[in-house]
């Protein structure tokens, strides 16, 4: 018998051949000096390498675990999933969110709305959500979220305790880049602000986004408010508010500020997510003309935008990424109410897709590795 | 008797892990923390074998667990967690190495890989100590392309089967076999080059 291929020898060495094949090779190796030598030297080299491994010290693992914990301080860590932040930020930037700035006396200072569509003539002070209007309970994850978690598993805390809860804290320098509206706020001369989220309509469960209002308390006592009436169509007020607050929080993370959550649908924001993605996405999503692609029949009126993890917007078409368009078609087919609305999907590095209308664990094939961890914005 | 005892222990450990996974999928952070403890050494080891220094390996390990944590609600507990986490860590390591300044990747063809394989002389191993050889192999592994390196690490270091490797890397078993062969030849050639002798 002539010497087998190295690949076969290699497979024999790894016990990956069938019994018959293995026996044949074994007989040959026993009688072939050359093959025996190859196997022996290979085994020697690999064994020395494998056994030369030394585990790092225990302390290093503890350190890593601590870092992991710090990056995910919320009790329910899946709430940190960036999909919802990016979705909310993009939707808000695209559709427009109304923001009012009022002073502490309740006088409207300026209308710094991102959208021109707001038709409510009511003065901001009257639209604003007063703490006194709160129902019996509100849902807020606060600065001292641990204590709240321990006291109340559902994050439901009495209204009187919620009033002073600080949700966001950032420095002036941190928020300048997040959105035009925030620039205006900075122009008011504030050196920083905090925000408080309020909810009404009864106890809010952790997963709801039924938040009616959010106030940002400026250092000069001015208030920036996001109210239910400011929510763009297709978004719940909670989404609208979260989108603004998340976007504003983006800069805050760079200063190492704790990220807090307003309402049930948003948890702590991963630092890298905010810095690398939300801000980039916010900046780029305003250019609606970058939306490309027309899909198939069901999707003929849809536009799809893919934002890569690098922050760049990728070109996309149904031929480049057929599995995505198959998925979108099935999403729209089973959720006809999505028509004329915007949704966001998140695709992780293994092709697992998450988002509204998508069944848990759905996997699609990525065109290439650069599409891993991307966000897909669809206007159906 | 002893075998039965071992089976019992293994079954219990498997049950514990399954319970932890189910809790982690439901969002239990503590359960995920325990899973991290169970897998951190193996994940770090894969990461370290796939990159050039400890710092990079810690970054990769941490990043892999973060990704797993965020995607945990999508994990199906009927699948094996180790396959899933290995897939994440190898992909993370591959992406990480691509994001670094590219070194010239080395992929040898089979002919080039023949150097030194016919020798029966163990001169190098006799002259160099084991740590030199370990370093030389690690250096060689680092020079492999990510595709070859991942197969080599998963087989030679982690001693996974071809089927498991194929499942983790989402490639056919035949591809595992051919890549492994190329990786072995390349590593051996590079080791010989570095140590200046024969195995």
- Write out pLDDT tens, residues A350-371: 888 888 888 877 888 888 888 8
pLDDT of residue A171: 34
Q: Does A219 touch chain B (CB under 8 A)?
A: no
Rounded to an integer, the average pLDDT of A61-89 is 60
**Closest by Cα among B131, B96, B14 to A53:** B131
Hey, how many other C-beta atoms are within 10 angstroms of the C-beta on A66?
Answer: 10
Least confident window among A229-233, A332-336, B73-77: A229-233
Task: Search chain A and give the residue with CA nearest B70.
Answer: A78
Predicted local distance difference test score (pLDDT) of residue A175:
33
- Mean pLDDT of the region A291-305: 55
The better pLDDT of the pair A139, B182 is held by: B182
Average pLDDT over residues B131-157: 90
DSSP bridge partners of A303: A379
Rounded to the nearest angstrom, the minimum Cα separation between B178 and chain A is 6
Which residue on chain A is closest to B137 by alpha carbon?
Answer: A49
CB neighbour burial string for B18-41, b if at least 16 within 10 angstroms, e if fewer: eebbebbbebbbebbbbbbebbbe
Closest by Cβ to A68, choosing from B36, B155, B159: B36
Question: Would you say residue A158 has pLDDT above 90?
Answer: no
Query: Highest-confidence range of A39-43, A179-183, A330-334, by mean pLDDT?
Result: A39-43
The Cα of B73 is separated from the nearest Cα of chain A by a number of Å equal to 7
Query: Comparing C-alpha atoms, which of B47, B130, B137 is closest to residue B90?
Result: B47
ipTM of model: 0.77
Closest residue in chain A to residue B94, using alpha carbons only: A369
Q: Is the pLDDT of residue A18 over 50?
A: yes
Q: Is the pLDDT of residue A106 over 80?
A: no
Chain A residues closer than 8 Å to B177 by CB: 7, 10-11, 16
Looking at chain B, the whole-number percentage of residues with pLDDT higher than 90 is 31
The mean pLDDT of B23-47, rounded to a whole number, is 90
Judge whether residue B48 has pLDDT over 90: yes
Cβ contact B27–A76 (<8 Å): yes
From the CA of A109, how many Å to the nearest CA of chain B?
Answer: 41
Of residues A144 and B164, the one with the higher pLDDT is B164
Secondary structure (3-state) at A60 = helix
Least confident piece of the model among A260-274, B94-108, B113-127, B182-196:
A260-274
Q: Does A13 touch chain B (CB under 8 A)?
A: no
Indicate if the pLDDT at residue B79 is higher than 70: yes
Q: Best of A52, A77, A309, A375 to disrupt the B interface by mutation (most B CBs within 10 Å)?
A: A77
In A110-149, the residues whose Cβ lies within 8 Å of chain B are: none
pLDDT at position A131, please?
29
Question: Rg of chain B's alpha carbons, rounded to an integer?
Answer: 19
Q: Sign of the C-alpha dihedral, residues A187, A188, A194, A199?
A: negative
The mean pLDDT of chain A is: 53
Euclidean distance between CA atoms A158 and A173, whole angstroms: 34
**Where is pLDDT greater, at A69 or A278?**
A69
Q: What is the predicted pLDDT for the residue at B30?
A: 85
φ/ψ of residue A139, rounded to 5: -120, 120
A310: closest CA of chain B, how far (Å)? 11
Ranges A220-234, B74-88, B144-158, most confident: B144-158
In terms of pTM, does the model score above 0.90? no
Task: Quote the pLDDT of residue A63.
Answer: 86
Nearest by CB to B71, which of A34, A61, A348?
A348
Torsional class of A256: left (φ above 0), alpha (ψ -120 to 50), beta (otherwise): left
Minimum distance, in Å, between the CA of residue B120 and any CA atom of chain A: 6
Contact (CB<8Å) B76/A361: yes
pLDDT exceeds 60 at position A186: no
d(CA A261, CA A242): 8
B183 has pLDDT over 90: yes
Rounded CA-CA distance A101/A124 in Å is 8
Please answer yes or no on whether A78 and B70 come within 8 Å at the CB atom: yes
The per-residue pLDDT for A52 is: 85
Highest mean pLDDT: which of A44-58, A248-262, A306-320, B122-136?
A44-58
How many residues appear in chain A? 380
CB < 8 Å to A149, chain B: none
- Per-residue pLDDT at B99: 66
pLDDT of amino acid A301: 66
pLDDT of residue A102: 31
For residue B168, the chain A residue with the least C-alpha distance is: A350
pLDDT tens across A189-232, in order? 222 323 333 322 222 222 223 333 333 433 333 334 333 333 33
> Is the CA virtual torsion A320, A331, A289, A364 positive or negative?
negative
Q: How far apart are CA A270 and CA B66, in angstroms?
A: 10
Q: Measure B114 CA to nearest chain A CA, in Å.
A: 9
CA dihedral of B108, B43, A85, A197, whole degrees rounded to 10 = -160
More confident residue, B11 or A107: B11
The distance in angstroms from the start CA to the end CA of chain B is 44
Q: How many interface pairs between A and B have CB atoms less than 8 angstroms apart?
A: 146
Q: How confident is the model at residue B152 (pLDDT cuts 50, 70, 90)?
A: very high
Mean local confidence (pLDDT), B55-75 = 88
DSSP state of A263: S
User: Per-residue pLDDT for B133 more than 60?
Assistant: yes
Chain-chain contact of B95 with A349 (C-beta, under 8 angstroms)? yes
For residue A217, give Cα distances in angstroms to A166, A191, A223, B141, B180. Answer: 9, 11, 5, 56, 61
Query: Cα A46 to chain center, whole Å?
Result: 42
pLDDT band at A157 (very low <50, low <70, confident <90, very high): very low
Q: What pLDDT, on the 0 to 100 scale, is given for residue B7?
A: 65
In whole angstroms, give the CA distance from residue A315 to residue A336: 26
Q: Does A372 touch chain B (CB under 8 A)?
A: yes
Percent of chain A with pLDDT over 90: 6
- Looking at residue B11, its pLDDT comes to 65
Helix (H, G, I), strand (E, B) or coil at A114: coil
CB pair distance less than 8 Å for B134 and A369: no
User: What is the pLDDT, as a whole number, of residue B61?
Assistant: 93
pLDDT at site A189:
25
Q: Do A10 and B177 touch (CB under 8 A)?
A: yes
Minimum distance, in Å, between the CA of residue B61 and any CA atom of chain A: 9
pLDDT score of A179 more than 50: no
Q: Which residues of chain A does B118 touch, with a Cβ-Cβ cutoff of 8 Å?
A: 34, 37-38
């Amino acid at each position: 018998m002539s010497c087998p291929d190295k690949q076969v020898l290699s497979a024999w060495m790894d016990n990956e051949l069938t019994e018959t094949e293995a026996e044949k090779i074994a007989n040959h190796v026993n009688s072939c000096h050359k093959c025996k030598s190859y196997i022996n030297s290979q085994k020697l080299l690999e064994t020395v390498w494998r056994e030369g491994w030394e585990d790092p010290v225990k302390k290093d693992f503890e350190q890593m675990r601590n870092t992991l914990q710090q990056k995910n301080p919320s009790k329910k860590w899946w709430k940190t999933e960036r999909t919802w932040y990016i979705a909310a930020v993009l939707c808000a930037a695209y559709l427009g969110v109304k923001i009012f700035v009022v002073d502490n006396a309740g006088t409207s200072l300026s209308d710094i709305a991102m959208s021109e569509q707001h038709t409510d003539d009511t003065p901001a002070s009257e639209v604003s959500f007063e703490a006194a209007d709160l129902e019996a309970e509100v849902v807020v994850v606060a600065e001292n979220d641990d204590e709240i978690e321990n006291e109340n598993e559902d994050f439901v805390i009495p209204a009187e305790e919620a009033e002073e809860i600080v949700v966001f804290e950032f420095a002036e320098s941190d928020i300048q880049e997040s959105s035009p509206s925030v620039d205006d706020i900075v122009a008011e001369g504030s050196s920083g602000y905090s925000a408080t989220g309020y909810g009404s309509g009864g106890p809010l469960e952790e997963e709801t986004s039924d938040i009616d209002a959010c106030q940002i308390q400026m250092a000069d006592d001015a208030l920036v408010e996001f109210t239910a009436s400011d929510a763009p169509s297709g978004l719940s007020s909670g989404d609208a508010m979260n989108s603004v607050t998340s976007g504003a929080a983006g800069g805050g993370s760079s200063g190492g500020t704790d990220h807090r959550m307003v309402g049930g649908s948003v948890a702590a924001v991963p630092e890298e997510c905010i810095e690398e993605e939300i801000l980039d996405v916010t900046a780029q999503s305003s250019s609606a003309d970058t939306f490309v692609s027309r899909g198939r029949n069901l999707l003929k009126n849809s536009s799809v935008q893919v934002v890569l993890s690098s922050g760049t917007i990728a070109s996309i078409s149904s031929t480049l990424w057929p599995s995505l368009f198959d998925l979108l078609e099935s999403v729209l087919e089973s959720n006809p109410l999505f028509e004329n609305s915007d949704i966001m999907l998140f695709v992780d590095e293994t092709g697992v897709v998450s988002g509204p209308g998508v069944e848990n664990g759905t996997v699609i094939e990525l065109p290439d590795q650069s599409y891993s961890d991307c966000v897909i914005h669809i206007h159906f | 008797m002893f075998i039965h005892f071992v089976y019992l222990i293994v079954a219990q450990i498997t049950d514990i892990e399954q319970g932890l996974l189910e809790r982690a999928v439901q969002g239990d952070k503590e359960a995920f923390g325990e899973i991290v403890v169970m897998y951190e050494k193996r994940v770090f080891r894969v990461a370290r074998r796939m990159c050039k220094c400890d710092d990079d390996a810690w970054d990769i390990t941490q990043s892999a667990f973060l990704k797993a944590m965020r995607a945990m609600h999508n994990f199906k507990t009927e699948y094996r967690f180790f396959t899933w986490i290995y897939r994440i860590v190898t992909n993370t390591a591959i992406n990480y190495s691509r994001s670094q300044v590219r070194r010239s990747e080395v992929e040898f063809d089979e002919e080039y890989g023949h150097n030194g394989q016919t020798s029966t002389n163990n001169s190098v191993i006799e002259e160099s100590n084991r740590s030199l050889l370990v370093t030389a192999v690690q250096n060689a592994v680092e020079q492999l392309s990510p595709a070859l390196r991942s197969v080599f690490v998963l087989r030679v270091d982690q001693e996974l089967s071809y089927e498991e490797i194929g499942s983790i890397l989402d490639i056919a078993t035949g591809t595992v076999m051919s890549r492994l062969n190329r990786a072995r030849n390349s590593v051996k050639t590079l080791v010989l080059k570095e140590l200046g002798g024969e195995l």
